[in-house]
Structure 1
Amino acid sequence: MNHKSINFVLSPSWRTDFLFAGASKNWLVHVGVVALTLLLILSAPESKDASGKAIIWFCTISVFSFSAVMLAKRYLSEKQKNPYELDSYTRHYAVLTAIIGTLWGLGAFIVAPLSNDLLMLYTLVVGGTALGAVSTQHVEQRVFLASIWTAIPLLALAHITHTVTNQNLAVAIMIVLYGVIITMLGKRMQAFLTKNAELSLSLADKVSNLTLTTAELERIRLIAENNSTAKSRLLAHISHDLRQPVHAIGLFAECLKDHATSQETRALLSQIEQSVISMSGLFRSLLDLTALENGRVRSLEIDFALDEVLGGIILQNQAAAQERGVTLRYVPNRLWVRTDPALLSTMVQNLVANAIKYAPGAKVLIGCRRQKGRISVEVHDTGPGFEPGDIDRVFEEFVRLTPVENTTVGGLGLGLSIVRKLSDILGLAVDASSKPPNGTVFRISGLVRAEAAAASREVDHQRIGSQLDGARIFVVDDDTATREGMRQLLQKWGCDVSVFAAPPDLEIARAADFLFVDRDLGPGVDGLAYASQTKQSLGVPAAIVTGSLSRDIEDGARAAGLTVLEKPARPAQVRSLLLTVLSGQTKPASAAAAAAADRVGTSNARSSAET
């Protein structure tokens, strides 16, 4: 079945469409066959007396054939205008084919008196015409039956009417049997075509349903993408609008420490600081998860000493461990590995913080192990642990198996899910084992060993701490609370501080030793562009401070040689940055810290570089 017939079967009037589709060409061919038959009759020597009848026969059958052509053309042009009149076309078509079939049968009576050989030849022509009728009209049973059984009986009768012999009788019987055979063939073809039509209609229905389903899935996908985009925008607004005041609160709390005269005031400031740290952690977890889901985290593999990263994490978590009554131990090593130190630091930091949070009063041990040419980092704790059946669940988002006893310790249950996602980026494996109540072991395995490099330079903070005295620091921020908090904090460290709500002229900025420039300084004011221009024109180092970090900001800052400081920034981060820059170092001292400063990654990775 060609593509046109496929289109026909998808229409309610597919049978009539199929019947009339090629009818015009078929009947024109039929007229040609009739004309050749006439020539065959007229060329016979015995046809002189029958020539007139033959010509009348030809003209009559040709008229009805052209009538069939006109009916087919009219149907094809009128079927869209009068869809309820379609069956009448089929009835008229059947009448025409019956008349034409009858004329073919009557023609045999014109040929039979002429010669037996001519009659046999005429019989072959009628047989071929009948077969052609079956092939073109089998879609409508009444039409092809009218064509066959008006011609076949008359043809058989013509064989036995003029001369009755056994041979003619046998031929007549064979003609009738031939009619029966081609009738069966026509019915089988009709059944086959009907089955194909039903399958095509069923397929069309399934394709329609599939199209609707695909459209619905596409709609759902677009909704999901829009929701994801909306979520990212919401988190960006949260990071900018909420982290701004949290950033200022942390700065003010640090400034008030020197003015606290009573134990009660110092305890209150400590609680404020702890709350700021907790809220900052929540922001970082949410934004880290969003960055990972959006594919914004990229790894930068370098060779570095594993002890640099792990040792820094121990120092970072000492205060939190003491507050929770946790004994934090670390087994130093001289191993070098090749991976992204910032992302690895984030993974280990999350594991250590998780152990401290959920195992109060326990012992936590961090160490390394060699396994088949690779290195694994393990975090052991003697806390309550969890059931082995919950191992996969602990790596899911927003899952917290054990309630936190201390209400001052928050969290969303994202730390371990971030560890798993980062391990996929680095091509590492993360697993856990636990035997309640004997503690838990988390393991990061698959680290590739690297050759040890020359000893890295270290920053002596005690020796260079005095360099902050008199340092000229410019703070450019449109938020009043943030400007005031930074001013008080930097003055506490002995800096000469100037604050600006809008970018100062380059001639004024020339006097600065360092600039802290907020990324968002109001409509039409780009802090990154200003800091880049200052660095390029004056050579003044600067840090971009932002509450809505993005890949574009990080790429732009790195291209301009600027540092990115994400809000809420802890005072220790600000002090470490100033000491590093003002000591004459343009890069952090260690390879691991350098990678953390240069890479595009998550906020936890950057915060883990504190010292």
Structure 2
Amino acid sequence: MRLLLGNVKDAVWQTALLVAVLLWALLDDYNARPLAAWATAILGLELFSAWDARRALRRLDATTWQSQVRRQMALNLADGLLWASLTWITLDTAGLGGSVLVIAVMAGVAGSAMSSLAVVMPVFLCFLATLLLTIAAKLWLLKDPAYGALALTGILYCMTLVGHGRNLAQSARAAIDLRFENLELIARLLRESENAREAHRAADESNLAKSKFLAAASHDLRQPIHAQGLFLTVLERSALTPAQRGILQSVTSATRATAEMLNTLLDFSRIEAGVVQAEVRPLELQPLLNVIENELAPQADAKGIVYRSRETRAVVRSDSAILALILRNLVSNAIRYTERGGLLIGCRLRDGHALLEVWDTGIGIAPADRDAVFREFHQLGNPERDRRKGLGLGLAIAQQLARTLGHALTLDSEPGRGSVFRIELPLAPRGELPAARPRWTAVASIAGARVLVIDDDEAVREAMRQLLRDWGCECDAADGIADALELAARVLPDVVISDYRLRGTSTGADAIAALRAVHGPQLAALLVTGDTAPERLREAGASGMTLLHKPVHPRELQLALAGVLREGSAGG
């Protein structure tokens, strides 16, 4: 109905032009009055139909369209009678040329009606039937065989128009159906897109909540475990019976295992936070392989499996700390999933690259699982979540760190026979190796130093006091910035060790800045944090100070203290 009414309201000017041509060609002394009356009537009806169509379009809806169909049928019945009446007015007096013009105009009007009205077939049939019957009656009454044949031809012509009109109506209906289907599809796609956005937002919120929970839980767990590790170190240096020392070793082993899992979470959080900065430079692989072997071979020995490492003289371009973390994760994973046989770490040179390989005779990985093993918290063969098999983050961390360095990490495996992980490293000329730095003794460097510890956890402060005093240091402990400033005003410390997160919104960086504002920028300091939240890691990393992560191994703390004291004394 919208299509039909739109055609009706746009046909006025065409009808006016056609009526003007007909008046110019057909007007004579015999038909002047009836022809003028006809022209007035046809133009009046067209103007009324156009006005009515505009009004109907504004009101057309699902409740009014049927009444509009009936209204248009009536108007077009009248329109068909008016057009056909032209033959009654002119054919009796017109010459051959005039008669041909009138019949041609009638054929044209019928064809035009088919194109504009056939989208609603009842309206078109009303117009065409009225036009055809009225013209055929006139031609039949003329009693001329030629006009009779013309009437029969007109009937055939109108039948053809009906067929074309039906096709046009079906095409219009198909186009309308398709439009509504497209609209429905678009609406469905919009709904699905909105649902997908909602699901994405929900997933982001869930992931953010998970990250916050893990960060909070990690921080809260790190505090007592950090203090526990420091107390155990102090206890280890005490006089103990063999039975007590055995119990101490068991407790230390359990604490170390917990610390390793927390450090794995920390490594993952550091990657997510984007605070892992690579310093790619030439380095020898063999010293790195020696460090990993000294650290992890005892774990293989404890399981009764063979740990082998082939010597290599390869020099590669990489970051030694990050590459060590990748290799440590790969080797730990190989030991964890190998029950018999052993593992082999070696290096092969290929086309300007070194392939650092970790082979094992473990459970192997099926082809369908080779992508999944690099996903976070995904483990094979550990449905009971045995903590001795880790958290399922080692390979995910190794892959993301390899991407950070631009190294390709690949996997080949055969279920039941073992796996091999390969890291592709670019080779470097041996002449580009940096000069070796002199070694120094950490314990001797910190003996006698005065240390100010800032931490809002009483257990950590007490553990640090006992450990530092056991190392020969003088130690003061504060629980916040105000307390630290008061202690430093009495006796100036050589070095400050501050937890990063203090009470309220204060941070260790704020505390150290306040102390340096009073006592000078040369005051040595280092930060210790148990936070794993990405934003906290970025803030702490941006401070520019030496940063340690709880639980801190005592040996690592010794080295860091010696380092900042040495740098402070060189700066002074």
TM-score by length of 2: 0.88
Question: Shift of residue 193 of structure 1?
Answer: 0.6
Distance, in Å, in 2 between the alignment partners of 1:26 and 1:486 is 96
Distance, in Å, in 1 between the alignment partners of 2:314 and 2:486 is 47
The DSSP-based 3-state class of the residue aligned with 2:496 is strand
Residues 334, 38 of structure 1: alpha-carbon distance in 2 compared, 3 angstrom cutoff: same
Distance, in Å, in 2 between the alignment partners of 1:95 and 1:319 is 102
The DSSP-based 3-state class of the residue aligned with 1:84 is coil
Where does structure 2 lack aligned partners over 5 or more consecutive residues?
none
Distance, in Å, in 1 between the alignment partners of 2:92 and 2:416 is 112
1:450 pairs with 2:428: yes
Distance, in Å, in 1 between the alignment partners of 2:118 and 2:357 is 80
8 Å contact from structure 1 (residues 357, 404) kept in 2: no
1:199 pairs with 2:178: yes
Within the candidate set 103, 123, 127, 2:103 is matched to: 123
1:545 pairs with 2:528: yes
Is 261-270 or 530-539 further displaced after alignment? 530-539
Distance, in Å, in 2 between the alignment partners of 1:431 and 1:384 is 14
8 Å contact from structure 1 (residues 71, 89) kept in 2: no
Distance, in Å, in 2 between the alignment partners of 1:213 and 1:288 is 37
Structure 2 residue aligned with 1:492: 470
Distance, in Å, in 1 between the alignment partners of 2:288 and 2:148 is 109
1:516 pairs with 2:501: no
Distance, in Å, in 1 between the alignment partners of 2:75 and 2:346 is 98
1:261 pairs with 2:246: no
Structure 1 residue aligned with 2:411: 431
Structure 1 residue aligned with 2:289: 310
Residues 183, 56 of structure 1: alpha-carbon distance in 2 compared, 3 angstrom cutoff: same
1:479 pairs with 2:457: yes
Is 152-161 or 121-130 further displaced after alignment? 152-161
Letter in 2 for 1:75: A
1:176 pairs with 2:155: yes
Residues 361, 273 of structure 1: alpha-carbon distance in 2 compared, 3 angstrom cutoff: farther
Deviation track 1:299-324 (CA, whole Å, cap 9, x = no partner) reads 44322222343232233335545554
Question: Shift of residue 476 of structure 1?
Answer: 1.0
The DSSP-based 3-state class of the residue aligned with 1:180 is helix
Within the candidate set 484, 496, 508, 1:527 is matched to: 508
Letter in 2 for 1:474: L
Residues 89, 365 of structure 1: alpha-carbon distance in 2 compared, 3 angstrom cutoff: closer
8 Å contact from structure 1 (residues 398, 413) kept in 2: yes
Letter in 2 for 1:238: A
Question: Shift of residue 249 of structure 1?
Answer: 0.7
Within the candidate set 131, 146, 153, 2:126 is matched to: 146
Taking only aligned residues, the RMSD between alpha carbons, in angstroms, comes to 3.2
Letter in 2 for 1:49: Y
The DSSP-based 3-state class of the residue aligned with 1:538 is coil
Residues 169, 139 of structure 1: alpha-carbon distance in 2 compared, 3 angstrom cutoff: same
Distance, in Å, in 1 between the alignment partners of 2:415 and 2:150 is 98
Deviation track 1:352-406 (CA, whole Å, cap 9, x = no partner) reads 223444446865543322233311223345x65447668726555431437999x
Residues 395, 327 of structure 1: alpha-carbon distance in 2 compared, 3 angstrom cutoff: same
Structure 2 residue aligned with 1:603: none
Within the candidate set 31, 50, 56, 2:37 is matched to: 56
Residues 304, 75 of structure 1: alpha-carbon distance in 2 compared, 3 angstrom cutoff: same
Distance, in Å, in 2 between the alignment partners of 1:549 and 1:190 is 69
Structure 2 residue aligned with 1:8: none
Structure 2 residue aligned with 1:288: 267
Question: Shift of residue 501 of structure 1?
Answer: 0.7
Residues 556, 309 of structure 1: alpha-carbon distance in 2 compared, 3 angstrom cutoff: farther
Residues 585, 311 of structure 1: alpha-carbon distance in 2 compared, 3 angstrom cutoff: farther
Deviation track 1:308-349 (CA, whole Å, cap 9, x = no partner) reads 432322333355455545664544433221123232211211
8 Å contact from structure 2 (residues 526, 564) kept in 1: no
TM-score by length of 1: 0.82
8 Å contact from structure 1 (residues 554, 564) kept in 2: no
Deviation track 1:242-298 (CA, whole Å, cap 9, x = no partner) reads 111111111111111122421122122212221121112222333434555676655
8 Å contact from structure 1 (residues 528, 544) kept in 2: yes
Distance, in Å, in 1 between the alignment partners of 2:568 and 2:522 is 14
Structure 2 residue aligned with 1:582: 565
Structure 1 residue aligned with 2:26: 41
Structure 1 residue aligned with 2:379: 399
Deviation track 1:116-164 (CA, whole Å, cap 9, x = no partner) reads 3112112222222222211111111111122222223433444454461
Structure 2 residue aligned with 1:65: 46
Residues 71, 391 of structure 1: alpha-carbon distance in 2 compared, 3 angstrom cutoff: closer
The DSSP-based 3-state class of the residue aligned with 1:523 is coil
1:505 pairs with 2:488: no
8 Å contact from structure 2 (residues 374, 396) kept in 1: yes
The DSSP-based 3-state class of the residue aligned with 1:368 is strand
Question: Shift of residue 533 of structure 1?
Answer: 5.9
Distance, in Å, in 2 between the alignment partners of 1:114 and 1:57 is 16
Residues 89, 454 of structure 1: alpha-carbon distance in 2 compared, 3 angstrom cutoff: closer
8 Å contact from structure 1 (residues 19, 137) kept in 2: yes
Residues 442, 511 of structure 1: alpha-carbon distance in 2 compared, 3 angstrom cutoff: farther
Within the candidate set 231, 243, 249, 2:228 is matched to: 249
8 Å contact from structure 1 (residues 541, 562) kept in 2: no
Residues 338, 101 of structure 1: alpha-carbon distance in 2 compared, 3 angstrom cutoff: same
8 Å contact from structure 1 (residues 478, 522) kept in 2: yes
1:570 pairs with 2:553: yes
Structure 2 residue aligned with 1:18: 3
Deviation track 1:68-111 (CA, whole Å, cap 9, x = no partner) reads 2343233223335xx43431221121111111111111111111
Distance, in Å, in 1 between the alignment partners of 2:232 and 2:157 is 108
Residues 571, 190 of structure 1: alpha-carbon distance in 2 compared, 3 angstrom cutoff: same
Equivalences, count: 560
Residues 403, 176 of structure 1: alpha-carbon distance in 2 compared, 3 angstrom cutoff: closer
8 Å contact from structure 2 (residues 118, 165) kept in 1: yes
Structure 2 residue aligned with 1:600: none
Within the candidate set 367, 377, 395, 1:416 is matched to: 395
Question: Shift of residue 191 of structure 1?
Answer: 1.0
Structure 1 residue aligned with 2:189: 210
Residues 472, 586 of structure 1: alpha-carbon distance in 2 compared, 3 angstrom cutoff: closer
Residues 270, 169 of structure 1: alpha-carbon distance in 2 compared, 3 angstrom cutoff: same
Is 574-583 or 95-104 further displaced after alignment? 574-583
Is 57-66 or 514-523 further displaced after alignment? 57-66
Deviation track 1:560-604 (CA, whole Å, cap 9, x = no partner) reads 4311111111112101212333344999xxxxxxxxxxxxxxxxx
Residues 360, 89 of structure 1: alpha-carbon distance in 2 compared, 3 angstrom cutoff: closer
Letter in 2 for 1:567: K
Letter in 2 for 1:77: R
Residues 507, 411 of structure 1: alpha-carbon distance in 2 compared, 3 angstrom cutoff: closer
Letter in 1 for 2:497: F
Structure 1 residue aligned with 2:113: 133
Distance, in Å, in 2 between the alignment partners of 1:161 and 1:316 is 119
8 Å contact from structure 2 (residues 451, 475) kept in 1: yes
Letter in 2 for 1:191: Q
Where does structure 1 lack aligned partners over 5 or more consecutive residues?
1-15, 588-611
Letter in 2 for 1:134: M
Letter in 2 for 1:113: D
8 Å contact from structure 1 (residues 535, 542) kept in 2: no
